[in-house]
Every structure is written in C-alpha cells, then in structure tokens.
Amino acid sequence: MLELYQFELSHYCEKVRLILDYKGLAYRKIEITPGIGQLDIFRMSGQRQVPVLKDGNEVIADSTEIAFYLDRKYPERPLIPTEPQRRSQCLILEQWADDSVGINARKLLISAVGQDSTFLTSALPSGTPGFLRNLVQSVPREAIDLVGFGAGASPDAIKSARKEMHRSLESLSEMLRDQPYLLGDQPTLADFAVAAMTMYVKFPIGSYLELPAAIKGKGTIELINDPLLKPFWDWRDRLYADFRKAPLTATAGATSGSSSGPTSINID
C-alpha cells in the first residue's frame, strides 16, 4: 500500500491527500514528529520536508513531484491536462496556489491563533495532558503576537495577507461563475492545490482531517462570511464532498516515535 509521510495539519500534505482520494488510491498515513521525526524523512528522501510518498521502492518528496508521479504511474482520473494550453494554465495556477495562496494562508493562521486560543491548543498532540493544554491556552495574546513576528507575520504583514487573500478568493470566485472547476468541466491539479492551500483560511467542516471539533469550519471570519466569496467556498465544499474521503485507516506511528494524533505544524 502507498505510504504518506505527513503532518496532519500541513496544507501541502492535504494537497496530496486530496489527490490520492480523487484517484481512489488507498494509502496509509504516517504522522511525523516535527524535528526528530524529520531525521527519518531526511534519511529516506534526502530532504527534511513532508509530504513524502513511498510507493514500494520509490520515494517521492514534494507535493508537485508527487502529483506528477501519481499521474504517470496511475493515469486513471488524470490531474494534469495533456493539451498544452490547459496544461500550462493548470501548472501556473498550481504554482501560484503553493507559493502565494499557501504563504498568505500561513500568515492568516498565525493571526487566527492570536484571536482564538482554541487554535493553539488544537495544534498540540492528542495525548497532551489537560494541565499542559490549559497552560498553553493561558498564553497571553502579546506572546502569541511575538511568535507571529518571529515567523514573519507582523500586524502589517497579516493585514496585507488578508487583503491579498481576499483579492485571490474573489478572482477564483469569478473563475468559477460559469464552470464547475477552475479549468472547466473536470477537476485538475489546480483545483486540489487551491483547495488545500486555503485549508488554514477555513478548516473543512467534515471529518476529513483529524481535527478537534472546535476548529472545524473556523478560520479568518471576514473571508469566510463575505457573500462575495460564497462561490469559492461552495466550490471547495463541493470538491471535498465529492472527492475527499474520511480516513480509512488509523494513523500509524513512524519508527522515530511519532505521535498518533495530529501534531503541530512547523511554521517557517
């Protein structure tokens, strides 16, 4: 069976999970502990980031490389159009989603954490004792803002990330006005990249991810509730309902001693 080495709360990993589900490929998730668990990832793939996909003896790192690999090896339900113009549009949109939407979404997550401490505790491993959870919940707002500064998310940066994200979601809503998917009648890699990269803007509501109930459907309120962006959120809900599957198998622990529940993401 395919093995996905991942962080449950990583949007790049979510992109690969969406793709695997769309293609109907069964896979086992292996949750990696940030830091120590990444040593195994380095040994396996020559780099430290997740997602990494293992298919027999093949090891593939990077969500885009994984998408190309899966389309080559499992051509049923293709992701990347073959017609040159649509192919270029698909790849440009995917790259934009990874680079621009994904990075702004990370900044917005930092801001959401500052506004609602549920986000912070939800990033803790599932076995974290209650007293530690309470301690984290009581971290003052100023301390969280400081961490945000450290991660390159000053209040100004968050403000412009919100503005850029609004503009992006508005354009995407416009693209979806007369067609069901970003490039026409069939979903492509562009749809799955955009859907995954907006995970931190609004966490999916269904039980697709191992998320605490308290943060499902939550995110950046202004962007979730803006009626102008409704076509975008309707499209994402439909994409999840039609293609994303609820987890089939329990999360397995990696050899390096990873936890079995969602673990914290590493915000660069």
Ligand X SMILES: N[C@@H](CCC(=O)N[C@@H](CS)C(=O)NCC(=O)O)C(=O)O
**Cα(52)–Cα(65) distance, integer angstroms:** 10
Rounded alpha-carbon distances, angstroms, from residue 102 to 134, 138, 240: 30, 29, 18
- The residues facing 58 across adjacent strands are 55
Number of residues that bind ligand X (CB under 6 A): 15
Contact status: 256 vs ligand X (CB under 6 A): no
| Smallest distance, ligand X to C-beta of residue 81, A | 20
In this chain, which stretch among 62-70, 118-126, 146-154, 194-202 interacts with ligand X, using CB under 6 A? 62-70
In this chain, which stretch among 43-51, 115-123, 155-163, 240-248 interacts with ligand X, using CB under 6 A? 43-51
Contact status: 50 vs ligand X (CB under 6 A): yes
| Smallest distance, ligand X to C-beta of residue 62, A | 4
Q: Are strands 2-6 and 52-55 parallel, antiparallel or unpaired?
A: antiparallel
Contact status: 114 vs ligand X (CB under 6 A): no
**Cα(57)–Cα(173) distance, integer angstroms:** 41
Nearer to ligand X, 72 or 177 (CB): 72
For residue 137, which phi and psi values (nearest 5 degrees)?
A: -65, -25
Q: Are strands 52-55 and 58-61 parallel, antiparallel or unpaired?
A: antiparallel
Contact status: 31 vs ligand X (CB under 6 A): no
**Cα(216)–Cα(160) distance, integer angstroms:** 25
Q: Is 3 helix (H, G, I), strand (E, B) or coil?
A: strand
Contact status: 5 vs ligand X (CB under 6 A): no
Q: Which of 8, 14, 62, 191 binds ligand X (CB under 6 A)?
A: 62
Contacts with ligand X by CB under 6 A lie at 7, 10, 12, 38, 48-51, 62-64, 98, 265-266, 268
